[in-house]
Amino acid sequence: MVGKKVGSNQSDDYSFKWWEHTYNNAAKNIENKKTRLNEEDGTTETVKLPKKRRKDDVTEEKDVIVYARFRKSSILNGTHEKSIREETNLKQELNNHNEIKSIPTVSDEDLHRICEGRTAHKGARHGIHMNGKLKRLEDQETLLITSVAMKTTVEIASDKREKKKKKKKRKSEEDEEFYCILNSIMVSGAHRAFLFGISFNRFFRTKKLKIILPYLFGTATALTYTYHRQTFVTHASMLDFGVNTDANDIYDSALFIADPVTDKTLLQKNSQSYQSRMEIFIMKLQYHLCRQLETYEDGEKHFQVDRWLRQEGGGGISCVLQDGDVFEKAGVNISVVHGKLPVQAIEQMRSRGHQFIARDLPLDFFAAGISSVIHPRNPYVPTVHFNYRYFELIDIDGSVHWWYGGGTDLTPYYLDESDCKHFHLTLKKTCDKHDKTYYNKFKKWCDDYFNISYRDNERRGVGGIFFDDLNEQGQEKCFSFLKACGNSVIPSYLPLVEKNYLKSYSLNEREWQLIRRGRYAEFNLVLDRGTKFGLQTPGSRIESILMSLPAVAMWKYQYPIKDGSEEKKLVQILKNPKEWV
């Protein structure tokens, strides 16, 4: 340590770069000289030039004092310490500021003019705006928006034109079909009118009635056909089906959803019997209704078709759609059964006014019917139920007792009076075509039948029509009326589905729907006569009988219903049935 000065670095003995030190000392001694020619005497002289020093070097030499290897950073001033570095930094900032102020500024107009509108400065300082660039961007944006808008307008117009073309084509095809039929009717009518005129002239000449009668009958036939066809056109246009959804009793296996219960050969052979005609009709009605309901599920859900046979005789076809987007559960069942009817069931029929010779004996019977219950998912779409049946009972003397029965009723969860009026008006028009007294009589019967007496006479729904033991006006008239009632289901109910199935609903409204479904299940299990008959019939199929029950229902103890609410409004109607038409 001897000979070392204070502040010396001992590591210099090992890290000192002598060649770098020698180079730097040599560089300091270099003189910058310039040879200059003297024009007067033609001699040359050498001039020593001053060294160029950087500003930082000057500042550093002037303001910073180095003691050996220590750097002076501050000066003691009494009790305070003054920093040399802060003064140095302040001077540098002032110099930089002066340099910035010395930079000449260019106005926005001059810059725009110099750059010919192609650009502008990036800073937008001192209130100067990038008018050139912004103007160009604005023009580009306007052009883009205009082109997109024009393209969208063209596409929309194109789509509208395509839709109009399709609609016009469809309408032209329908009109063409209609006018072809109308033309044939008019030609036929004109031809008959011409012949009728000639015959009428002959009648006045000869006074013979037989000349004019054939043409009278022909004209009446044409007018009847026109009237009934117009009725169908009105019926179909209500839902815009485009096809005839009315079922009839003419054999056509293409309109069966499955093989009939009765052998096809036997069914065609006995196609004029009421047993066969009834089976054919309900098979077709089942097909039409299932296909129409499936259209609301967008091909995602289809009816599960279950054809079953009964060991005692006959069988049925159960069609059930479950967990659909529109229909939570929908069932359309037919049954064609025969065999021996128990004494208990016979006595129940006797209590309704039927007279049988047999006493305490089972009798041969035949029953064919269609039954359907449709439970939608949306609380604003009502539930519908219908059942139409034909029954034969053979007494011990061989006499046949027959009758028809059935009905259609609506169960809304939220009251829409226009829906109820449409439903009842459709049923009334159907009834009035056969007997003007049917609607009022069968509506009251429906209100009385679907009455949950132990719930303070609360009805299951807003009613419809219901009848049983119908055999008063002859079998053909009764069968025609039953077919008309069955065919009224689609036009009376599907418009309500179409109107309401897309409406939004809350959890409270869904809960109210499930509470009302509980009432529905109560009636079916406790009071419904059809359920009781099915359970009493030997070999009955429980799955098909209980198909009418909803997939989900709810019972809550003393469920509160607020006064003035929509729920209260419905309950008041259920306890006090209303005349809708």
**Predicted pLDDT of residue 350:** 84
**Predicted pLDDT of residue 451:** 93
Question: Identity (one letter) of the amino acid at 104?
Answer: P
pLDDT of 187 above 60: no
**Predicted pLDDT of residue 234:** 37
Q: What's the rounded mean pLDDT across residues 302-315?
A: 92
**Predicted pLDDT of residue 343:** 85
What is the gyration radius of the CA atoms in the chain, in angstroms? 51
pLDDT tens, 136-172?
A: 777 777 777 776 666 555 555 556 556 655 655 665 6
**Predicted pLDDT of residue 169:** 60
> By percentage, how much of the chain surpasses pLDDT 70?
62
Following DSSP, what letter does each residue of 106-122 receive, concatenated? --HHHHHHHTTTS---S
* Six token digits for residue 485: 């009632």
Active site residue 385: yes
**Predicted pLDDT of residue 386:** 96
Distance CA 307, CA 261 (A): 8
Using alpha carbons, select from 318, 460, 468 the residue that is nearest to residue 383.
460
Angstrom distances, CA of residue 125 to CA of 100, 105, 106:
14, 10, 11
Distance of CA 32 to the CA centre of its chain: 94
Selected from 1.10.10.520, 3.40.30.10, 3.40.1500.10, 3.30.70.270, the CATH number assigned to the domain covering 245-575 reads: 3.40.1500.10
Contact 241, 233 (CB under 8 A): no
Q: Specify burial of residue 255 (Cβ count, 10 A radius: 0-12, 13-18, 19+).
A: middle
Following DSSP, what letter does each residue of 38-96 receive, concatenated? -TTT--EEEEEEPPP--HHHHHHHHH--EETTEE--EEEETTEEEEHHHHHHHHHHHHH
Question: Identity (one letter) of the amino acid at 165?
Answer: K
pLDDT tens, 315-353?
A: 999 999 999 999 999 999 999 999 998 888 888 888 888
The domains of the chain are located at 245-575
C-beta neighbour count of 552 within 10 angstroms: 13
Distance CA 385, CA 404 (A): 17
Catalytic residue among 385, 422, 424, 434: 385
**Predicted pLDDT of residue 554:** 93
**Predicted pLDDT of residue 213:** 67
CA angle 456, 460, 463 (to 5 degrees): 115
Q: What's the rounded mean pLDDT across residues 113-122?
A: 58
Which range in 108-112, 167-171, 291-295 is most confidently predicted, on average pLDDT?
Answer: 291-295
- Name the pLDDT band for 56 (thresholds 50, 70, 90): very low
Summary mean pLDDT of the chain: 78
Q: What's the rounded mean pLDDT across residues 488-495?
A: 96
- Name the pLDDT band for 237 (thresholds 50, 70, 90): very low
**Predicted pLDDT of residue 481:** 96
**Predicted pLDDT of residue 99:** 57
pLDDT tens, 358-395?
A: 888 889 999 999 999 999 999 999 999 999 999 999 99
Which pTM value belongs to this model?
A: 0.59
pLDDT tens, 434-451?
A: 999 999 999 999 999 999
Distance CA 258, CA 237 (A): 29
